[in-house]
Amino acid sequence: MSGPVVLASTPESVRFGRLPGAGAAPVLVVDPGTVVRVETVSHEGLLPDQGSDPLAFFTALGVDGRDVLEDARAIAAAGLPRDPARDGPHVVTGPVAVRGARPGSLLRVEILALERRADYGIVSNRHGRGVLAGRFPVADGSGDEPQVVSHLARVSSDGRRGEIGDGHGRAVTFRLAPFLGLVGVAPACEEELPSTPPGPYGGNLDVRHLGVGSTVVLPVRADGGLVYFGDPHYAQGNGEVALTAFEAPLAATVRLDVDTSARARALASALGSPFGETPAHIVAIGLGPTLDEAMAEAVRQALVLVVDATALDEAAALAYLSVASDFEVSQAVNGTRGVHCLVSRVDLGSARDDPSWPSPFSGSGSPARGASGRDGR
């Protein structure tokens, strides 16, 4: 049995700070159901305010030069076009065209595996970007406030936890939970949009629940879907309040599939935006210029998903969401704010009294056996 198709991040297969438009030439074309291993690269150490030289940047922080990825060094040296006043920071790998993906269908990105490519990474804080912009980063006493503070984070020797220190001998450890912050399809326009704000095409969604075992479901907007990947994280808290998560490179093994059924087309039309599936939850995603607007959009998206799965009317579905589903801030730092809603698969399954109703989101499996409680865990 052959292994996955490998998509490396090279100067020829990535964009720096931009998303591919609808007319972008794919770097790879695959059939539905194909498994692809995408070797993603973090942008940390490649940015101008960090010197645009990952080898010099990371070795200055104490990282062995042999552990600085060759592909990151090659991308930094390639001089790829990037407008710092407009474009985002991310290294965006792709796009990949999936045969049969057409506007109105759903493209499914199933996350099969996420492997760390390094044992270190960066959490950055820049003025004007984090939730406490204007207060952090703190002036260093020289009279000039720093443009960026880059905290080196490391993976423990057993690979189970991360660690961040303050440079004065104090440190805290935390659980690792890798995921890709950026997964999307090409927007309907030809323009290459900046990579920072997410949109109805997906992109920089930063929903930490979409790790191994999850599926990102994206309404297709251009022929082939033109799916892309980036912003790899080893861990992130809801909110991502400093500005970035634990930014570090991942090898992501994904299965790319297309759903062209009438039900999928109706759902794509009703939603117009991505959603996620995990073994325990359906994840509605709301985006907006403010957290209030993102929250309202998450409620609207969750209503569509609950009604589709249960056949409840909207009033009953809204009442259910109010008593049984959790709304969380995905991120509050990307210009476009994100709020996601976790809807229990166990709850959705309990509504199927009529066996003629379709199983909710059957493409990602049924609720986990033995799960109990409102969280489905």
Q: Is 362 a residue whose pLDDT tops 80? A: no
How many CB atoms sit inside 10 A of residue 78's CB?
A: 13
**Whole-number mean pLDDT of the chain?**
91
Residue 375 placed within a domain: no
Question: What are the beta bridge partners of residue 252?
Answer: 38, 114
User: Same domain for 194 and 110?
Assistant: yes
User: Same domain for 90 and 204?
Assistant: yes
Cα gap 236→85, rounded to integer Å? 26
User: Same domain for 50 and 194?
Assistant: yes
Residue 268 placed within a domain: no
Question: What are the beta bridge partners of residue 91?
Answer: 16
Q: What is the pLDDT of residues 126-173, one digit of tens each?
A: 877 899 988 888 765 555 655 788 999 999 999 999 999 988 889 999
Once rounded to an integer, what is the mean pLDDT over residues 58-82? 97
Q: What is the pLDDT of residue 356?
A: 55
For the chain, the first-to-last Cα distance in angstroms comes to 34
Which domain CATH number covers 254? 2.60.120.580
Last residue of one domain, picked from the residues 192, 226, 259:
259
Residue 158 placed within a domain: no
User: Same domain for 318 and 209?
Assistant: no
Residue 107 placed within a domain: yes
User: Same domain for 109 and 216?
Assistant: yes
Cα gap 366→277, rounded to integer Å? 11
Q: Is 365 a residue whose pLDDT tops 50? A: no
Cα gap 170→149, rounded to integer Å? 17
Last residue of one domain, picked from the residues 227, 259, 291:
259
Which domain CATH number covers 304? 3.10.28.20
Q: What angle do CA 315, 373, 179 make, to 5 degrees?
A: 90
User: Same domain for 53 and 103?
Assistant: yes
In angstroms, the Cα distances linking 23 to 7, 16, 154, 234, 322 are 20, 17, 39, 32, 42
User: Same domain for 296 and 225?
Assistant: no
User: Same domain for 187 and 225?
Assistant: yes
Domain that holds residue 342: 278-364
**156 contacts 175 by C-beta, under 8 angstroms:** no
Cα gap 355→1, rounded to integer Å? 37
User: Same domain for 107 and 234?
Assistant: yes
Residue 168 placed within a domain: no
- With tokens 């730092």, the residue in question is 333
Q: Is 373 a residue whose pLDDT tops 50? A: no
How many CB atoms sit inside 10 A of residue 15's CB?
A: 23
Q: What is the pLDDT of residues 72-112, one digit of tens each?
A: 999 999 999 999 999 999 999 999 999 999 999 999 999 99
User: Same domain for 99 and 238?
Assistant: yes
Q: What is the pLDDT of residue 39?
A: 98
User: Same domain for 184 and 305?
Assistant: no
Domain count, the chain: 2
Q: Is 210 a residue whose pLDDT tops 70? A: yes
Residue 96 placed within a domain: yes
- Percent of the chain, pLDDT > 70? 91
Q: What is the pLDDT of residue 354?
A: 54
Q: Tell me the two tokens of residue 362.
A: 């059957």
Q: Is 305 a residue whose pLDDT tops 80? A: yes
Residue 129 placed within a domain: no
User: Same domain for 41 and 189?
Assistant: yes
How many CB atoms sit inside 10 A of residue 197's CB?
A: 17
Residue 146 placed within a domain: no
